[in-house]
Amino acid sequence: MTLINRIRLVAIGLALSLSSAVVKADVVAVVSTKSPITALSRSQVADIFLGKRSGFPNGVQAFPVDQAEGSAVRDEFYSKVVGKTAAQIKAYWSKILFTGRGRPPPTVSNNLEMKKRISDNPAAVGYIDRNVVDDSVRVVF
């Protein structure tokens, strides 16, 4: 194996691991930098997104915002943080919607929209890929 080939292989390997790092990017829960909330537990985040908890621990009402159905970041969030598959979440909300007990959170179409929505509203809570976090939002989980 020539040196050139070896370098090529390493480069391909690096590219592959980088791209898989992008695909598996961590999802983080975020609030506005104007929010007094600095940290939430996994179960607090899960309960807010499942409508089981209406407020932050400080008593202020929380407004969860979802990413689009079928998006990778949404599936990742529900799988890792809430512990449910996309179909289970759909079934969960159909239960609540069809008895008139509540509605699922409103949705935004991507990370950028989410950051815009979150940074504007101190009561909102959302989730984005960790690698797109900037100073418009604060990671709370």
Partner 1 sequence: MPRITRSKLWRTPYSLCAIVLIALLPSPASVRAAAEDPSSSMFSLSGFGTLGVVHSSEHDADFTSTIFKPNGAGYSHDWSPDVDSLIGAQVNANFSPHLSAMVQVISEQTYDNNYRPHVEWANIKYELTPDASVRVGRTVLASFLVSDTRNIGYANPWVRPPVEVYSLVPIDSSDGIDASYKWHIGDLVQTFVGTYGATTSTQPTGGNAEARRQWNISDTLEYGAATLRIAYQRANLTLDGLHTFFGAFRQFGPQGNLLADKYDPYRKPLEFIGIGAMYNPRDWFVTGEWGTSQFHSVLGESTAWYASGGYRLAKFTPYLTYGALKANSNVSDPGLTVSALPPYLTGPAMGLNAGLNAILGSIAIQRTTSAGLRWDFMKNVDLKLQYDHTGLGAGSPGTLINLQPGFQRGGTVNLFSAAIDFLW
121 lines the binding site for partner 1 (CB under 8 A): yes
Q: Choose, by CB under 8 A, the member of 2, 5, 58, 61 that binds partner 1.
A: 61
Binding track, positions 69-108, relative to partner 1; x by CB under 8 A: xx--------x---xxx-xx-xxx-xx-xxxxx-x--x--
Pull the structure tokens for residue 125.
């809570």
Which residues partner with 32 through β-bridges? 137
123 lines the binding site for partner 1 (CB under 8 A): yes
Residues in the interface with partner 1 (CB under 8 A) total 35
- Give the list of residues 6+ apart from residue 26 with CB closer than 8 angstroms, or none: 129, 130, 131
Ranges of beta strands (E only) in the chain are 27-32, 63-64, 66-67, 107-108, 124-129, 137-139
Q: Choose, by CB under 8 A, the member of 33, 54, 131, 136 that binds partner 1.
A: 54
CA distance 53 to 102: 12
Q: How far is the CB of 96 from partner 1 (least distance, A)?
A: 8
User: Would you give the end-to-end CA distance of the chain in angstroms?
Assistant: 47
* CA neighbor of 129 nearest in space, from 83, 71, 42: 71
Q: How far is the CB of 22 from partner 1 (least distance, A)?
A: 24
Which residues of the shown chain bind partner 1 in the complex (CB under 8 A)? 41, 43-44, 46-47, 52-55, 61, 63, 65, 69-70, 79, 83-85, 87-88, 90-92, 94-95, 97-101, 103, 106, 121, 123-124
